[in-house]
Amino acid sequence: MNLCSRIHVILTEALELIKHCPDRICYNRAMNTVYLGLGSNLGDRERNLARGLESLAEKMMIKQVSSIYETEPLGYLEQPWFLNMVCCGTTQLGPFELLRYVKDIEGQLGRLASFPNAPRPIDIDILFYDDRVMETQALVIPHPRIGERAFVLIPLVEIAPDIAHPSINMSMRDLLSGLTEAQQVRRWGDVPRIRPATL
């Protein structure tokens, strides 16, 4: 078999492997550690968070889950209070694949396009993706407002107080202690158990 034929066979086999990998994800890809923030202020807020976690567990192995916190809305104030939490897990999804997946979950749980900071049944934000720093029109990692939001920092400090923000090399504990704007955040309860991921 000449070189061109060998290359053709290799490419054909690679394309078949990709075609038969669910969601075009191959299982020899590295596992990436991600932190996600979840929030809800419409409908059954606690159930919305639980359903969001259940859906996330289909594509990631969830390792840690914070308590749920009830928090006052920011930006647009004429709306119900939120329930917020964060989770940590590992996934083979790349950053943009993960973004598409969480947007699909939001849509499935009833979130509609609206104005910024509008009420919503579910909101899922990518907070950290390993120690990656990236900025595109569609996705910024780490989330650009982590350091401003007590409802993100308090649950992050609960499960990962010493992880460092890769852009500014400050721990979550230090970022929380440096918050100057008063924000009302109160512990609501624990998250129901979720079924494990099947990766």
Q: Given the residues 44, 45, 47, 123, select the one marked as catalytic.
A: 123
- Distance between CA atoms of residues 178 and 137, nearest Å: 28
- Cα dihedral 192→149→142→75 (10° resolution): 100
Q: Is 149 a catalytic residue?
A: no
A 10 A CB-CB count for 131 gives 13
Query: Which of 158, 192, 177, 154 has the alpha carbon at shortest distance from 71?
Result: 154
Three-state secondary structure call for residue 95:
helix
Residue 40's alpha-carbon distances to 68, 80, 174, in angstroms, are: 11, 9, 26
Q: Is 162 a catalytic residue?
A: no
Q: Given the residues 23, 47, 104, 125, select the one marked as catalytic.
A: 125
State the DSSP code for 30.
P
Q: Given the residues 45, 51, 111, 149, select the one marked as catalytic.
A: 111
Q: Given the residues 45, 51, 120, 149, select the one marked as catalytic.
A: 120
Q: Is 24 a catalytic residue?
A: no
Q: Is 123 a catalytic residue?
A: yes
Active-site amino acid positions:
111, 120, 123, 125
